[in-house]
C-alpha cells in the first residue's frame, strides 16, 4: 500500500493509543536520513524511530554509546523533512538523560526544537523515572524502552534475551506499570520472552512495541537496514529479511563499474 499526499492524516500519539484500544497492530521502522524516511513514510508505517542504532548502521560503531546529541539531531531533522504522515520519535542518546533530570529535559527540548520531531524515547525504568517525568512535564511525549536496552550493553555483557528469570521479569512488569502511570504514550519491549510480552501488553493500557519480543506486542519495530537485508551478516532469530538489497545493490554497482570500464556508459543519449 502506498499513501498519497491527498490522503494524509498525521499519526499522533492519540492515534497510536486508539490503535491499541481497537486491537489494530502498530507498524514501526527506523530511519535515519531523508531519502529512506520518505520511502518508509510513503509505504505507510505509523511510527518512525530515529534510533540511536544510527551509531551502528550509519556510523559503523560496535555499540550505540558513541552517538552524540548533535548527531541525533542531524539524523532526526533529515527524517522530519521527509515525513508527511508517521509519528517521528527520536532516541535520547547515551549520556544525555541518565542521572540528571534537568539535563534530560534540556536534551529533549533540544531534540524537539532543533529537529521538529514529535516525541523522544529513553531506555530504562525506575532508575530514570525523574528524567521521564521532567520531560513529560514540559509536554514532550515519551516512549519508554525496557528489556534489552543497548545503551547498557556493558552492564549486561551480551545481547541475549533479557528477563528470563522471575526477578528481572517482575521488575520489568513494574517498570512498564510505572511508565504507564507517569504518562508515557508507549513502550518498546526488546528481546524478552513472548509470554512476558503478552503479560505486559495485557497489564498496561498504553501500546507495547516489540523487537525480538514475539507476536503479542501491540506493534512491532525493526531496524530498516535489517528489514531490507543491507547487512547480510546480521541474522538474529527475531529478524525477517523482506528484501536482499545487499545483493541488488552489489549487482547494480558491479554492472556500473563494468559499463564504465568498457566505455559503454555514458552512451550518446546520456551525453550533451
Which residues have CB under 8 Å from 157's CB, separation 6+?
A: none
Applying CB under 6 A, which of residues 19, 26, 48, 53 lies at the interface with ligand KIV? 53
7 is in an annotated binding site: no
Residue from 112, 184, 223, 228 binding ligand KIV (CB under 6 A): 223
Cα angle value 111/13/163 (rounded, 5°) = 85
Q: Tell me which of 41, 91, 175, 218 binds ligand KIV, using CB under 6 A.
A: 91
Selected binder of ligand KIV within 188, 206, 213, 230 (CB under 6 A):
188
Interacting residue with ligand KIV among 211, 213, 217, 230 (CB under 6 A): 211
From the list 47-55, 110-118, 179-187, 199-207, the region that binds ligand KIV by CB under 6 A is: 47-55
190 in active site = yes
Q: Which of 166, 181, 190, 268 is catalytic?
A: 190
Residue 52 is a binding residue for ligand KIV (CB under 6 A): yes
**Beta-carbon contacts of residue 36 (< 8 Å; ≥ 6 apart):** 224
Binding part of the chain for ligand KIV, among 17-25, 48-56, 125-133, 151-159 by CB under 6 A, reads 48-56
Other beta carbons within 10 angstroms of residue 260's beta carbon come to 11
Interface with ligand KIV includes 30 (CB under 6 A)?
yes
Contact indicator for 28, 44 with CB cutoff of 8 Å: no
53 is in an annotated binding site: yes
Helix orientation angle between 166-182 and 194-203, rounded to the nearest 10 degrees: 30
Please identify, using beta-carbon distances, which residue of 11 and 189 lies nearer to ligand KIV: 189
The verdict on 221 binding ligand KIV (CB under 6 A) reads yes
Q: For cell 525504568, name the residue.
A: 125
Q: Are strands 47-50 and 26-30 parallel, antiparallel or unpaired?
A: parallel
> What DSSP state is assigned to residue 13?
H
Q: With contact defined as beta carbons under 8 Å apart, do 103 and 97 qualify? A: yes
Where residue 22 falls (left for φ over 0; alpha for ψ -120 to 50; beta otherwise) is alpha
91 among annotated binding-site residues: yes
Shortest Cβ 128–ligand KIV spacing (Å): 15
Binding residues: 52-53, 91, 121, 123
Binding residues for Mg(2+): 52, 91, 123
By annotation, the residues acting in catalysis are 190
Amino acid at each position: 500500500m502506498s499513501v498519497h499526499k491527498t490522503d494524509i492524516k498525521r499519526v499522533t500519539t492519540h492515534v497510536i493509543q486508539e490503535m491499541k484500544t481497537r486491537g489494530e497492530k502498530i507498524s514501526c521502522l527506523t530511519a535515519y536520513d531523508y531519502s529512506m524516511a520518505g520511502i518508509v513514510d510513503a509505504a505507510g508505517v505509523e511510527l518512525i524511530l530515529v534510533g540511536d542504532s544510527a551509531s551502528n548502521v550509519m556510523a559503523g560503531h560496535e555499540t550505540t554509546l558513541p552517538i552524540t546529541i548533535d548527531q541525533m539531531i542531524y539524523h532526526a531533522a533529515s527524517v522530519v523533512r521527509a515525513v508527511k504522515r508517521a509519528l517521528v520519535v527520536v532516541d535520547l542518546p547515551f549520556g544525555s538523560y541518565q542521572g540528571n533530570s534537568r539535563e534530560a529535559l534540556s536534551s529533549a527540548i533540544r531534540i524537539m526544537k532543533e529537529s521538529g520531531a514529535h516525541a523522544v524515547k529513553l531506555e530504562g525504568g525506575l532508575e530514570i523515572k525523574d528524567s521521564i517525568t521532567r520531560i513529560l512535564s514540559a509536554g514532550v511525549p515519551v516512549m519508554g524502552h525496557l528489556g534489552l536496552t543497548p545503551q547498557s550493553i556493558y552492564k549486561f555483557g551480551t545481547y541475549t534475551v533479557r528477563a528470563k528469570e522471575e526477578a528481572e521479569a517482575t521488575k520489568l512488569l513494574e517498570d512498564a506499570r510505572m511508565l504507564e502511570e507517569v504518562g508515557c504514550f508507549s513502550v518498546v519491549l526488546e528481546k524478552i520472552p513472548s509470554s512476558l510480552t503478552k503479560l505486559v501488553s495485557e497489564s498496561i493500557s498504553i501500546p507495547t512495541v516489540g523487537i525480538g519480543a514475539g507476536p503479542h506486542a501491540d506493534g512491532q519495530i525493526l531496524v530498516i537496514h535489517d528489514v531490507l537485508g543491507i547487512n547480510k551478516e546480521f541474522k538474529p532469530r527475531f529478524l525477517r529479511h523482506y528484501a536482499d538489497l545487499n545483493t541488488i545493490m552489489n549487482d547494480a554497482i558491479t554492472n556500473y563499474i563494468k559499463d564504465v570500464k568498457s566505455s559503454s556508459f555514458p552512451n550518446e543519449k546520456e551525453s550533451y
